[in-house]
Amino acid sequence: MRGDGPDEPTWDAPGVAEWLDGDWPSLPVAPAVSALVDLVERHHTAGSILEVGCGTGRVYEALIRRVSLHGFPYVGVDTSRAMLARGRARYSGVDLRVGDARGLTFARRGFGSAVCVDLLHHLPDIDRPIAELLRVATDHAFLMLWLAKAGAPPAPIEPRLVTAPDHGVRAGFYEIPRSDEEVIAACERGGGRVLDLHVLEGDRHNVGLFRVGAR
């Protein structure tokens, strides 16, 4: 990215929230998100649900479509004020706050489950955020992130310039598909244990759905 754009990921850069928000509200929930929510629905039994990197509410929307999850309080956190503003406009009264996966301000075991969708492959380090998710969860962390396809070269650990001219977007994002072994090891280091792993095949990368027991 050096000399070619921002040095740090810029989720609040002009147009990014509008671009990522896109037309998902008018579409059926993406199959991968739906499959992760299946796991949450099957295994979340008690306490509040925390979502880290909640964006504009796509996962919240998928969670509340499940009648069995209606009774559980939800809190969403995200570093981007632009994302949160769009989420708050769409879901008034929902608890959406500024918060950073790398240092959550919540008490240990303050939630039943912690959910994190499409964030970890955008961070250069997954150990700290995974440990934080497991620290605040009593029972499970549910993770959805990109996994590298077999034989793929290692992704560079620096932000990649992404442009979307229609939305005026020119911003840098880390895009780092991990191996399932890396994620399993990070969960172990964070004090958890992977209990379920589903891999959905994709063109550029696969998508991993992890249910992690918080020990």
Ligand X SMILES: C[S@@+](CC[C@H](N)C(=O)[O-])C[C@H]1O[C@@H](n2cnc3c(N)ncnc32)[C@H](O)[C@@H]1O
Site residues for ligand X per CB under 6 A: 11, 20, 52-55, 58-59, 78-80, 83, 100-102, 117-119, 122
Q: Shortest distance, CB of residue 150 to ligand X, whole angstroms?
A: 24
Q: Shortest distance, CB of residue 101 to ligand X, whole angstroms?
A: 4
Q: Shortest distance, CB of residue 97 to ligand X, whole angstroms?
A: 10
Q: How far apart are CA 55 and CA 53, in angstroms?
A: 6
- Nearest-Å Rg of the Cα atoms of the chain is 16
Tally of CB atoms within 10 A around 193: 14
Closest CA to 79 of 123, 36, 37: 123
Given the structure tokens 């991993």, which residue do they identify? 208
The residue (of 15 and 193) whose beta carbon lies closer to ligand X is 15
The residue (of 46 and 125) whose beta carbon lies closer to ligand X is 125
The residue (of 96 and 214) whose beta carbon lies closer to ligand X is 96
Q: Which residue is nearest to ligand X (CB)?
A: 55
Q: Shortest distance, CB of residue 58 to ligand X, whole angstroms?
A: 3
The residue (of 155 and 193) whose beta carbon lies closer to ligand X is 155
Beta strands in the chain (DSSP E): 49-52, 74-78, 95-98, 111-117, 137-147, 160-164, 169-173, 192-200, 206-214
